[in-house]
Every structure is written in C-alpha cells, then in structure tokens.
Amino acid sequence: MLVLSEGQWVILCNLDTGNSPGSTRERFTIAHELGHYHIPEHRKQLLAGCRSHGSYAGAFDGADSSEELEADTFAANLLMPVDRFVRKLNYLRQTPLATIRALRQEFDTSWESTAIQAMRHDARIITIAKWKNDGFAWHRISEPAFKADGFRKFQLRDMAALPRDSATAAALSDADTGNDHRIHEGVLTAAHCFGWVAAGGKRDILIREEAVRNGRFGVLSVFSTLESPQNGTKR
C-alpha cells in the first residue's frame, strides 16, 4: 500500500504474497502504488486524510474498484510503454502466448500484466484466463471480441469440467515447484468456450488455446483466433 507517514510517502510491500526483491511481481506492485501517487485524485484522497487501503499483489487480481484498475493500467503502461511494446509485438512472429513470453522477458514483467497489455494490441487474442491451483481466479475478454464478435460469457470456469486433453488441464497438471515456461497448446471451438454461441453456427470458430504454468501462482491461459499456417491470416 501507499501511505503518507510524517510527511513522507512510503510504499509497503508484503513479501508473503510474492513481492520478493527484484521480482516482476515486486516491480508491478511498486509501479501500481506509484500510480496511486501520480494519479491526482488518488493522491488527493490520501492528502485529505482518507484511509489507506491495501490491494492484492498481481495485475488485475481481485481489482474491484475503479481506483485499483486505474493504478493497474498506470503500472502496465509505465513498465511496458506502448510505442516500444507494440513495435516489439509486431516484430515477433509467434503464437500469442509465445509472443507474451518474449515480451515479458524483454520488459521484465509478469505473465499476467504482459498478457493483459498484449491483449490490448494483439487482435488475435480473444480471452485471457487465470487459474489458481485450487480453481478459477479471473478472466478478461478483449473489447473487440466482446463488442463486435459477441463473445461475452466465458464458461470454462470449472476445473473438473476442463477437457482432459486441453492445454489448460495440461498446464495445471505441471508441477508448481518451478516455472519452466513450457507452453501447452490445443484447439477448442467457440461454442465450447463461450455461452450463447450455437454449435456449428457462424460464430462457432476454431480457437487456439495456449496455457503455461507460472510456478505456485497458478496457470495463465490465452484463447486466440486460429491462424492458417500458410499465411498467418485468421480463419
């Protein structure tokens, strides 16, 4: 949290939630709290004596207020400047999650924050989902997929109902003691992933599913349009 103590601004990080010194998680947490300082209305609240509040370490995890989402967005753009980020994204010719892996290494950022930033600029990405070891955590649907394509109800939320041969199930079965960045890949249909999509209908497109284990923090899944291997165009 960001606190004003005896005239000094101080950022407090909880080591127990993964903010180990020098980690990507710590960098995002500090950038998030800098957002609370640099966004005028947030700073004014603290200066006016409003009580400081903590937030869970991790991009967009449990963000249930506009202030937290604003600080997350500030942090993402501070750590991954849009111009540099988009140039690198466009240069890479890999699948979406492999691209995210390269981008997070380039910018020294977390899987989650890099994936969300990539979804804003990579038209292939439809949905991002985060899984904890004990179940579903959260998901985000890209704005074009939500508004233009009508993919609005993500329904892969039950760990027990995941197809056994799905990429997410495979990543969840990987040991959580390490982070070897092994990406699992598979193909699903839109009707299987989203509600209100008729099986065999016009919107029931093939979707690439990619998933990776992020150590003890769970699994990140990315769902994107399937591209033709010949020319890279969307099907």
Residue by residue, what is the 3-state secondary structure of the chain?
A: CEEEECCEEEECCCHHHCCCCCCHHHHHHHHHHHHHHHCHHHHHHHHCCCCCCCCCCCCCCCCCCHHHHHHHHHHHHHHCCHHHHHHHHHHCCCCHHHHHHHHHHHHCCCHHHHHHHHHHHCCCEEEEEEEECCEEEEEEECHHHHHCCCCCCECCCCHHHCCCCCHHHHHHHCCCCCCCCCEEEEEEEHHHHECCCCCCCCCCCEEEEEEEECHHHCEEEEEEECECCCCCCEC
pLDDT of 159 over the 50 cut? yes
Confidence of residue 22 (pLDDT cuts 50, 70, 90): confident
pLDDT of 233 over the 50 cut? no
Confidence of residue 230 (pLDDT cuts 50, 70, 90): very low
Name the residue with higher pLDDT: 42 or 109. Answer: 109
Confidence (pTM): 0.84
Confidence of residue 60 (pLDDT cuts 50, 70, 90): low
Percentage of the chain lying above the pLDDT 70 cut: 89
pLDDT of 144 over the 70 cut? yes
Average pLDDT value for the chain: 88
Name the residue with higher pLDDT: 34 or 4. Answer: 34
φ, ψ of residue 121 in degrees (nearest 5): -125, -5
* Mean pLDDT to the nearest integer, 223-231: 69
Q: What pLDDT score does 234 carry?
A: 44
Confidence of residue 229 (pLDDT cuts 50, 70, 90): very low
pLDDT of 235 over the 70 cut? no
Lowest mean pLDDT among 17-26, 74-83, 183-192: 17-26
